[in-house]
Amino acid sequence: MKPGQESKGAAIDLESISKAYGGFKALDGVSLRIEPGEFMTLLGPSGSGKTTTLNVVAGFTDLTSGKLLVGGRNVVGVPAHKRNIGVVFQHYALFPHMSVGRNVAYPLTLRGVDQAERKARVARALDMVKMGDFAHRYPSELSGGQQQRVALARAIVFDPPLLLMDEPLGALDKKLREWLQLEIKRIHRELGTTFVYVTHDQEEALVLSDRIAVFNRGRIEQVGTGRELYDEPTTLFVGRFIGDSTVLRGEARSDGVSTALRIAGETVTAPRRIAGEASPVMLLRPEKLAIRRPGQDAAGTSNRLPGTIAEAIYLGSGSKYEVRLADGSMAIVRTPLTGDSFGLGDKVELCFDGADAKLLADDSSADATLT
Amino acid sequence: MSALEPTTPSVAKRGWVSRPFALTLPALILLAAVIGYPLLTIMVRSLSEPQWGVQNYLWFFGAPVNLTVLQRTFVISAWVTVVCVVCAYPYAYLMTAVGPRVRLVLVLCVLIPFWVSGVVRTLSWVILLQDSGVINSLLRAAGFDGIRLIRTQTGVVIGMAQVLLPFMILPLYSVMKGIDLRLMRAAQSLGARPSRAFFTVYLPLSLPGVYAGAIIVFILALGFYITPALLGGPRSTMLSTLVQTQVLSLLQWGRGGAMGVVLLVTTFVLLALAAPVMRSRYREAGRR
Amino acid sequence: MEMKPLTRVILGLVCLLVAIWLVAPTLVVVPMSFNENKSLAFPPQGFSWQWYLNFVTNPDWMSSFLNSVKVASIVAVLATVLGTLAAFGLDRMKARPANLLRMLMLTPMVVPGVVLAIGIYAVYLDAHLVGTLTGFVLAHTILALPFVLIAVSASLEVFDRRLETAAASLGAGALTAFRTVTLPLILPGILSGLLFAFATSFDEIVVSLFITNPYLKTLPVQIFSSITRDADPTVAAVGTILLFATTILIGGGMLLLGRERKGSQ
């Protein structure tokens, strides 16, 4: 569903939230507005602060400074059990001494819901996750995927206006994960609740989210839809974290309207420039690059760089090549099956339109966090 | 992975590993000779001395004095168990909650008395609890005069509980250590106050440890001999002392044997009763 | 789990009391051992080393101490060998018979001491084993066996049997695989079993009280009879020595273990 006023979900406002452990800043001035009913994913490598953010919202972690509003109410200092927020954990966290039914009924019992209604709501929640037949089983008798679905039912049974999920599919295998992603999407649509989802898997983030907040080193690098992050990354980190990319680095010259990079004797140009002092790099998506045999006609592309095929991967729908450039760096190219095919060691030329190159400020720390 | 499962590894096909049972034989033979045969002897003697029949058991269950001692043995053991559970629970919990440094200190506090000779520890209690001992001096200073601790049941319970406390703390700790504390977070996110989360999640999950420890402590307490012998008096005699008196002082092997058999059977009945409880369905669940 | 400050303080206090209760009573033997008078009345009077001297020079004390060391050493080796063999056997057996045999071998832990003692005493009277080294060693070995079995079984449980298969695939015979792979990995379990066995024998009193005679006494027996006979502060001196020996052994062992674990990470 589209985020809107009629949504049952709560809005969340994070206002310059910081969390320090001793000298280490786990969160460094994070600000984010999540709309009611929105599916927001916090994406980033491990240690980037996404889980800390989730814990702060859930009330498991106190923040050092900043403001946190859930549904317009300031919740700083409110203990976790009074926040009325559903949480789904990566490790399921089902109570092993209770049956599935009692696990799901637990939050209702705490809220003093009478037995008849409790039964109906437990049944409804279990049906929603397609676990209706398992109420009498114990968690130890269920598979990982089943346990996580029960955990999801337990987190939504008390109708929280906000559901937090901390890498809920992280422990499951790929097939199951993909199927459960669609299930989660469906449940989000049916409930209309605000979902905040933490993951380090960018594909998962693209499948699920209305918007994605990319975390790095305790800060948010960029917030936007999947398409925005892929097509218009504002930082090198985001560009490299979302999707495949090729980064061209070289001696830069800028003349006010365009930027030229000199890479191992060749020059490539893009009709743009970046503000500030930082040295610019070019980021190219694999489908914006083409490869040709040397000397072949290259109409429509202004830039060419010589290279050697270092890896050729057949993908079914196309081919993916890794090309080693003259300066030793690697470029990733995806081509449709219709074109030429190349073998290992072939000398090629890498061509691209300067307008397709994203000019971004160089950030060597991106290498450190990504590898 | 299944291809490498060690159920029938090729290395185990030949040589000494081929007959695992043979490896256990030396221990089993010694067990039969030094435990099995003596216990059998005692059972036979309880039925055959001075002549064949159940007269020794009739005597045991017929004499009020014996029944008093039997009852007292159970009461003292129960008190010791209760004291141990109450003291061990917070202690074991703290062991799981503190950092490694403090935990080391806490573990040492349990292990050192555990390893120091039981006789020496009982000696310490004799020194502490005697009429001219430290505790009575303190009590006198606080205005409680004439409280006797040595040769009383209270003294016996205090001493026994201290000796047995590690047997309660260690199994409790090993169960608590396995409880996933993130479950408490989950409970709180579902709306449970910390105290409520404790009683609905943590406590039930720690109960197997309580059962295990309590059974061990109770069984060991039933058979305690040294501590009651040194700390107790005629009014706190336990079954073990009675057995010893019958055999060593009165040379009544039949009667002593009958008492021993009663003690032995009680112990094993308790163990058999406790086994299914400890093998409860969620024993392994909830652990990481 | 986050606790309220008040809860934390109360919990800390309760545990402090329990810790004091565990440790402090035993410490009372330390001041008593320096008593000038031949009395165990508190508080001790004056200062003197005479009871330590008495322990070393009095043949009753010294011989019982040496007996205990001798018995405990033999028992430690014997129980460790038997227990380790049995643990291996049980590990490689089918679950059902293994569990049955394991329970059987653990019975010495739960049989009430006095019951076992009169049984062994009865048998030893017939076999003329009362007051003999063999008698002590046999009885103590069976009492120490469960501890070895538990310690070694625990390390076998975490030992990955596939490592032996891997060693075999690399060309190691069964015995070589055992010596070079299995043994080093379960050695900590065996060593702690050895230590437990020694301690069990060194501290055993109930059975010892029955099978002892004036010619062969162990240290606990000597301590026990000293307590029941008269108020001889020599027991306090012995207690102090045992207390410090134990503390150093355990403390040192744990420090060593801790360092090793840190080093291996």
A347 touches chain B (CB under 8 A): no
- Distance (Å) from the alpha carbon of B7 to chain A's nearest alpha carbon: 24
pLDDT score at A297: 67
Cα separation, A287 vs A281, in Å, equals: 18
Q: How far apart are CA A68 and CA A48, in angstroms?
A: 19
CA dist., res. C74 & res. C56, Å (int): 23
pLDDT at residue B7 greater than cutoff 60: no
In the stretch 101-130 of chain B, residues with CB closer than 8 A to chain C read 104, 106-113, 115-128, 130
Provide the token pair at A182.
């669609």
Sort residue A337 into left (φ over 0), alpha (ψ -120 to 50) or beta: alpha
What's the pLDDT at B283? 45
- Phi and psi at A59, nearest 5°, equal 95, 10
Nearest beta carbon to residue A110 from set B185, B196, B285: B196
**pLDDT higher than 70, residue C260:** no
Domain boundaries, chain C: 59-217
Specify the pLDDT at position B8. 43
Sheet of strand A246-248, all strands in order from the earlier edge strand to the far edge: A246-248, A280-284, A358-361
How far is the alpha carbon of C22 from chain B, nearest alpha carbon, in Å? 6
Residue of B nearest to C226 (CA): B123
Q: Fold for domain A12-238?
A: Rossmann fold (3.40.50)
What is the number of residues in chain C?
A: 265
What pLDDT, on the 0 to 100 scale, is given for residue B13? 44
Taking alpha carbons only, the member of C244, C202, C205 closest to residue C70 is C202
Q: With an 8 Å Cβ cutoff, are A96 and B282 in contact?
A: yes
Return the SS3 of A205: helix
- Are C92 and C157 within 8 A, CB to CB? no
Answer yes or no: are the C-beta atoms of B118 and B220 closer than 8 Å: no
Per residue in B265-280, pLDDT tens? 999 998 888 777 666 5
> Can you read off the two tokens belonging to residue B142?
């606080």
Closest by CA to A110, choosing from B195, C1, B180, is: B195
Answer yes or no: are the C-beta atoms of C218 and C71 closer than 8 Å: yes
The answer to whether the bond into B234 is cis (omega within 30° of 0) is no
Please determine whether the domains at A12-238 and A246-370 fall in the same fold group of CATH.
no
Determine what percent of chain A is predicted with pLDDT higher than 90: 56
Instruction: Return the biggest CA–CA distance within chain C.
Output: 71
In this structure, are residues A358 and A222 in contact, taking their beta carbons and an 8 Å threshold? no
| Cα of A107 to nearest chain B Cα, Å | 5
- Give CA–CA dist A178/A185, Å, rounded: 11
Across the interface, do A110 and B183 touch by the CB < 8 Å criterion?
Answer: no
Which C positions 71-130 lie with beta carbon below 8 A of chain B?
82-83, 85-86, 88-93, 97, 101, 104-105, 107-108, 110-123
**Percent of chain B scored above 70 by pLDDT?**
89
Query: Are the beta carbons of B188 and A110 separated by less than 8 Å?
Result: no
Q: Take residue C156 and report the two structure tokens written for it.
A: 């076998």
Q: Is B126 within 8 Å of C2 when comparing Cβ atoms?
A: no
Window 57-96 of B, Cβ < 8 Å to C = 87-88, 90-91, 93-94
State whether residue B270 sits within 8 Å of chain C by CB: no
Give the model's pLDDT for residue A361: 87
pLDDT band at A187 (very low <50, low <70, confident <90, very high): very high
Cα gap A74→A67, rounded to integer Å: 7
Classify residue C242 as exposed, middle or buried by CB count within 10 Å of its CB (0-12, 13-18, 19+): buried
For chain A, domain boundaries? 12-238, 246-370
Among A59, A97, A111, the residue with its CB nearest the CB of B204 is: A97
> Is the pLDDT confidence value at C1 over 50?
no
The chain B residue lying nearest C107, using CA atoms, is: B35
User: Comparing A89-103, A200-214, B193-207, C242-256, which segment has the lowest mean pLDDT?
Assistant: C242-256
In this prediction, residue B278 carries a pLDDT of 62
Question: Does C21 lie at the interface with B, CB-CB under 8 angstroms?
Answer: yes
pLDDT recorded at residue A371: 57
What structural domains and CATH numbers belong to chain B? 55-275 (1.10.3720.10)
Q: Which of B30, B86, B117, B263 to mutate to test the interface with C (most CBs of C within 10 A)?
A: B117
At A367 the pLDDT is 67
Beta carbons of B271 and C40 less than 8 Å apart: no
Nearest CB among B15, B230, B264 relative to C115 is that of B264
Residue of B nearest to A142 (CA): B285
The class level of CATH for A246-370 reads mainly beta
Q: Which own/partner contact pairs does C18-23 have at CB distance under 8 Å and 24+ positions apart?
A: C18/B87, C18/B88, C18/B90, C18/B91, C18/B165, C19/B91, C19/B106, C19/B109, C21/B87, C21/B162, C21/B165, C22/B109, C22/B110, C22/B113, C22/B162, C22/B165, C22/B166, C23/B109, C23/B112, C23/B113
* Average pLDDT score over residue span A254-264: 83
Establish, for the pair of chains B and C, how many residue pairs have beta carbons separated by less than 8 Å: 283
How far apart, in whole angstroms, are the C-alpha atoms of residue C20 and residue C13?
Answer: 11
Query: Which residues from C are below 8 Å from B121, CB to CB?
Result: 25-26
Residue of C nearest to B249 (CA): C210
Mean pLDDT of chain B: 84
Residue C254 has a pLDDT of: 72
What part of B 267-286 touches A (C-beta under 8 Å)? Answer: 281-282, 284-286
Q: What single-letter DSSP state applies at residue C213?
A: B
Q: In terms of C-beta density within 10 A (0-12 exposed, 13-18 middle, 19 or more buried), how is residue B229 classed? A: buried
Q: Answer whether residue B286 shows pLDDT above 50.
A: no
pLDDT in tens, C101-139: 988 999 998 899 999 999 999 999 999 999 999 999 999
**How distant is the Cα of B244 from the closest Cα of chain C, in angstroms?**
7
Dist. CA A193–CA C99, nearest whole Å: 52
**Identity (one letter) of the amino acid at C109?**
M
Q: How much is the pLDDT for B287?
A: 38
pLDDT at B44: 93
Nearest to B127 among C40, C114, C165 (CB): C40
Please give, rounded to a whole number of angstroms, the shortest distance from the CA of A337 to a CA of chain B. 38
**What does the block give as tokens for C81?**
């060998």
With residue C181 as reference, give the H or E element that holds it. Answer: none
Q: Are A15 and A27 in contact (CB under 8 A)?
A: no
List of residues 6+ apart from C262 with CB closer than 8 A: none
Closest residue on chain C to B135 (Cα): C42
Lowest mean pLDDT among A234-238, B87-91, B135-139, C219-223: B135-139
pLDDT exceeds 50 at position A258: yes
Q: Is B177 on the interface with A (CB under 8 A)?
A: no
Check whether B284 has a pLDDT greater than 60: no
Chain B nearest C-alpha distance from A67 (Å): 20
Q: How confident is the model at residue B1, as a pLDDT?
A: 38
Question: How sure is the predictor about A3, in pLDDT bands with cuts at 50, 70 and 90?
Answer: very low
Read off the pLDDT of each residue in A168-182 and give the average, rounded to a whole number: 90
Cβ A289 vs Cβ A352: under 8 Å: yes
Higher pLDDT, B273 or A3: B273
Size of interface A-B (CB pairs under 8 A): 78
What pLDDT, on a 0 to 100 scale, did the predictor assign at position A2?
45
Exposed, middle or buried, A303 (CB in 10 Å: 0-12/13-18/19+)? buried
Q: Helix/strand/coil (H, E, C) string of chain B?
A: CHHHCCCCCHHHHCHHHHCHHHHHHHHHHHHHHHHHHHHHHHHHHHHHCCCCCCHHHHHHHHCHHHHHHHHHHHHHHHHHHHHHHHHHHHHHHHHHHCCHHHHHHHHHHHHHHHHCCHHHHHHHHHHHHCCCCHHHHHHHHCCCCCCCCCCCHHHHHHHHHHHHHHHHHHHHHHHHHHCCCHHHHHHHHCCCCHHHHHHHHHHHHHHHHHHHHHHHHHHHHHCCCHHHHHHCCHHHCCHHHHHHHHHHHCCCHHHHHHHHHHHHHHHHHHHHHHHHHHCCCCCCCCCC
The answer to whether the CB atoms of B244 and C40 lie below 8 A apart is no
Mark yes or no for CB contact A95/B193 under 8 Å: no
**Cα A304 to the chain's mean position, in Å?**
33
Interface test with B, best of A95, A142, A143, A156 (most B CBs within 10 A): A95
Chain A environment of B196 (Cβ under 8 Å): 81, 110
Query: Which residue out of B189, B198, B284, B287 would a mutagenesis test of the A interface target, given it has the greatest number of A Cβ atoms within 10 Å?
Result: B189
- What per-residue confidence (pLDDT) applies to A290? 87
Residues of B in contact with C25 (CB under 8 A): 121, 124-125, 128, 162
User: Looking at residues A318-323, what average pLDDT do you find?
Assistant: 89
Position A54 scores a pLDDT of: 94
Axis-axis angle for helices C133-158, C95-110 (nearest 10): 140
Put simply, the chain B residues between 177 and 216 with a CB less than 8 A from any chain C CB are 181, 184-185, 194, 202
pLDDT averaged over every residue in chain A:
88
Q: Candidates 1.10.357.10, 1.10.3720.10, 3.40.50.2030, 3.30.1950.10; correct CATH number of C59-217?
A: 1.10.3720.10
CB-CB under 8 Å, A158 with B189: no
Note which residues in 223-242 of chain B have CB less than 8 A from chain A: none
**Chain A 67-96, CB below 8 Å of chain B: which residues?**
79-87, 89, 91, 93, 95-96
Grade residue A315 by pLDDT with cuts at 50, 70 and 90.
Answer: confident
Q: Using alpha carbons, select from C168, C157, C150, C154 the residue that is nearest to residue B15.
A: C168
User: Contacts of residue C68 in chain B, CB cutoff 8 Å?
Assistant: none
Which backbone phi and psi does B286 adopt, to 5 degrees? 75, 0
